[in-house]
Amino acid sequence: MHIELIIVRHGQSEGNRDRVFTGHGPSPLTERGRREADAVARRIAEKSVSAIYASDLPRALETAAPIVEKTGVELVADPALRERNFGDLTGTSFADIEARHPDVWRALLARDPLFRPPGGESNADCRARIAGFVEGLFARGAEGRIVLVSHGVAINQLLYHLLGVPVEAPPPVVFRVDNCSVQRVERHDDTVRIACINDRSHLDGLT
């Protein structure tokens, strides 16, 4: 069995631009984000695609739309690919949290895997959700080139899972996963290889 996962972070959203915790909240793409989505779609469509899955949040669906258009492959939206839920922090700026809730800010910076913001998810919760989705693909014997459109924290958590990083401790590294970057993971039989992280060459020259 051979599967290639093309894992895409959504394009720049209004929340990214404004430095706001968006989580499960609505946050459409900016004009730049739409250009990024077109650029990554052109890159992905250079080779055939077997399936396209995306988070059901608006910014991920907007990013997936040009990929669907250029490949002709039907989109399957799945909440398992959503971003971490930041609960009561949703819609609040980073600066406001740092100033008004320094204890919460410190816990977020420490990347405590078990810390849950009020009404939200921990990193461990997010990891279990997205890792479960991908392990389900493996268990069903999915094959070919499969596109996943997700979010920054969720993608980091998936990479930690694939690398076998323990769940109970803060991760030793944080992967830079820019808007509309590509992460490529290959699985042949039971061997998983991470071929690239944060490939954004298709965005060169984007203004």
Render each residue's pLDDT in the chain as its tens digit; 207 residues. Answer: 699 999 999 999 999 999 999 999 999 999 999 999 999 999 999 999 999 999 999 999 999 999 999 999 999 999 999 999 999 999 999 999 999 999 999 999 999 999 999 999 999 999 999 999 999 999 998 899 999 999 999 999 999 999 999 998 888 899 999 999 999 999 998 899 999 999 999 999 886
Q: CA of 44: how far to CAs of 3, 47, 54, 85, 166, in Å?
A: 15, 6, 14, 28, 32
Cross-strand partners of 176: none
Alpha helices in the chain (DSSP H): 14-18, 31-44, 58-71, 94-100, 102-110, 123-139, 152-163
pLDDT value for 108: 92
Is 4 labeled as catalytic in the residue annotation? no
Q: CA of 30: how far to CAs of 13, 17, 50, 102, in Å?
A: 5, 8, 28, 30
Catalytic residue chosen out of the listed positions 4, 36, 62, 83: 83
Is 10 labeled as catalytic in the residue annotation? yes
Does 2-203 carry CATH code 3.30.300.30?
A: no
Residue 50 is classified by DSSP as S
Catalytic residue chosen out of the listed positions 4, 10, 24, 151: 10
pLDDT value for 170: 87
